[in-house]
């Protein structure tokens, strides 16, 4: 029995350690995702201004990848005492942004660049809506 306790204690400790390592790694990941979001959003804007379907497609794919990475980080990781009460709103921002990127991908497939541009504006709105929640 005490052997069993020992094993479960060890298991618990290694779980804590794993979580610690995970949290430590998620932090730089999160900032990197944000910095890359900014870079890709600037580049996709340029692509729209050039009216280049191909360049917009490249940036849409990069943004979608970043969005997938963001989805994998639980929002609870970057919430604190002040922002915890907005968790639902923040979860929604992550979801909406991903949906807009999905819709943009579909718009680009049917060569509807105007629709894709509207998706771009909606995504920009999601970036800002989320940041506002963190700056109170
Ligand atoms: C789910 C919420 C959320 C969404 C959506 C989001 N961000 Fe952020 N972003 C944050 C948080 C949290 C921070 C860091 C803390 C803060 O801003 O107070 C941040 C920080 C940043 C930073 C500063 C990074 C640094 O530390 O130098 C940039 C740039 C940025 N975001 C760009 C974007 C862009 C562009 C988008 C949209 C494509 C976006 N973010 C979408 C939550 C979000």
3-class SS at 104? Answer: helix
Is residue 11 situated within a structural domain?
Answer: no
Is residue 100 situated within a structural domain?
Answer: yes
Is residue 22 situated within a structural domain?
Answer: no
Rg (C-alpha) for the chain, rounded Å, is: 19
pLDDT per residue over 3-28, tens digit each?
777 778 887 777 766 766 666 666 66
Q: Comparing C-alpha atoms, which of 102, 76, 103, 104 is closest to residue 90?
A: 76
Q: Scan for tokens 């052997």, then name that residue.
A: 3
CATH of the domain at 124: 1.20.120
Structural domain including 130 reads: 29-134
Is residue 81 situated within a structural domain?
Answer: yes
Number of domains, the chain = 1
Is residue 104 situated within a structural domain?
Answer: yes
At residue 23, the pLDDT reads 64
User: Whole-prediction pTM value?
Assistant: 0.85
pLDDT per residue over 67-80, tens digit each?
999 999 998 888 98
Residue 127 Cα, ligand 1 centroid: separation in angstroms? 7
Residue 128 Cα, ligand 1 centroid: separation in angstroms? 8
Is residue 10 situated within a structural domain?
Answer: no
């Amino acid at each position: 029995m005490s052997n069993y306790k020992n094993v479960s204690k060890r298991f618990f400790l290694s779980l804590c350690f794993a979580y610690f390592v995970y949290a430590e790694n998620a932090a730089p990941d999160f900032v990197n995702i944000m910095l890359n979001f900014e870079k890709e959003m600037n580049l996709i804007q340029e692509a729209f201004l050039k009216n280049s379907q191909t360049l917009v497609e490249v940036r849409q794919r990069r943004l979608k990848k970043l969005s997938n990475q963001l989805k994998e980080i639980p929002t609870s990781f970057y919430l604190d005492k002040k922002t915890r009460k907005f968790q639902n709103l923040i979860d929604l921002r992550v979801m909406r942004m991903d949906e807009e990127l999905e819709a943009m991908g579909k718009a680009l497939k049917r060569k509807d660049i105007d629709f894709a541009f509207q998706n771009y504006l909606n995504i920009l709105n999601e970036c800002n809506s989320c940041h506002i929640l963190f700056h109170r």
